[in-house]
Amino acid sequence: MSKIEFTSQQKQAMSNALKGYLEDELDVEIGQFDADFLFDFIVDKFAPAFYNKGLSDAQTVMQRKMMDIADELYEIEQISEF
């Protein structure tokens, strides 16, 4: 399995969002260095669960679509004595 990675711009934006959230909602001020470490922790610990949930949701959609296709194929099936 490949590691979940983000571009430096994405990481910077998400770290800034964490930093802003902590300041606005919890009155906790942290520096950019600490925000980056918090971001890395969240990605390492929680991102795989979110990723797997996304895969599961995508698989459910694909299975539903495949059932729809199977139903449509059944509808156009022709009667044949052979």
37 in a structural domain: yes
pTM, 2 dp: 0.74
Classify residue 1: in a domain, yes or no.
Answer: no
In the chain, the number of structural domains is: 1
Predicted pLDDT of residue 77 = 93
Residue 64 is assigned to a structural domain of this protein: yes
Residue 80 lies in a domain: no
Please tell me the distance from the alpha carbon of residue 38 to that of residue 33, in angstroms, as a whole number: 9
Per-residue tens of pLDDT for the chain, all 82 residues: 688 899 999 999 999 999 999 999 999 999 999 999 999 999 999 999 999 999 999 999 999 999 999 999 999 999 999 9
Return the pLDDT at 2: 81
